[in-house]
Amino acid sequence: MYFSKLIATGACVPKTVISNQKLSELVDTSDEWISSRTGIRNRHFAQTENASDLAIGTARQILSRCQIAPEDIDLIIVATVSGDYTTPSVACLVQAAIGAKNALAFDISAACSGFIFGLSVADKYIRAGIYKNALIIGSELLSKYLNFNDRSTCVLFGDGSGGAMVVRSDEPGLLCEALGSDGERGLSLTCGHVPTSSPFNGLPRGTDPYVHMDGRVIFDFATRTVPKSVEEMLEKQGVGIEDIDLVVPHQANSRIVEIISRKLKIPMEKFYLNMHEYANTSSASIPIALNELVENGRITPGMTVLFCGFGAGLTWGNMLIRM
């Protein structure tokens, strides 16, 4: 019987840091208004980089940390909603850049749950005996979709990339998962709408690239759905709250995380938060946080870590990992 295990992490973020104070020069807001409501103080914005550049930087860092040659990678999955092109995929651009000529490469679109969805897909390929080595990356360039006249959205997001190498193992590493989607509320968070247009329907060509969000719906969704999903997953797996060493949530809003903590009865001390520095980087937020924990020595082999992703789609993805 095959299992999959996470063996290395990496991350790549733009060097340019935009503070709340800097944003307040563009839009009617303030550091106090943003930080008190979200926990966000800074975010990183790309200058010349694109989503593929950040993903390639992440991939190269991961490769430098594990004993796997590029040509031995079987699968590359990039989770993104802000790729360079509609096609080719970011994953194919990563494949070419790192020389992973034997890898199947494709993107998935699950927004803030994307990295978890990618891990889940890779886990199935590995457990089925099809592949041995899978590179999973979340990479986002959300700054190009922000309306800097809309303070309800432009203050929330940032750019960045993070990822992990998952390999075939004799011992379980990805222990259990609970993924889901709710398309009925999908239009409460949208980005990059391209309406139907051609010379044959007489409709004007135009796009609405910006992020639009009904914050109340998203807040209610995250604080109700995520705790329930986690509880059901842990009960099914026979895992107690006390067995979890760390929780790495999607870095969307500190208030959301505090409510999830209270409902699950997991102390906030076990939750790792870094949205104060990166804001919401969608699919990249969990792997960026995970990589920081690994680099800082906060995660060591044998620890049990809970990932909690939630966002547009609407989607959610929770996964229990043994490092």
User: Catalytic positions, please?
Assistant: 112, 250, 280
Cα(25)–Cα(78) distance, integer angstroms:
34
Cα(308)–Cα(270) distance, integer angstroms:
13
User: For residue 16, which phi and psi values (nearest 5 degrees)?
Assistant: -75, 120
Q: How far is CA 285 from the centre of its chain?
A: 4
Cα(107)–Cα(43) distance, integer angstroms:
24
Encoded amino acid at 186, one letter = G
Burial class (CB in 10 A: 0-12, 13-18, 19+), 263: middle
Helices and strands (H, E) in the chain, number of each type: 10, 13
Contacts of 85 (CB under 8 A, 6+ apart): none
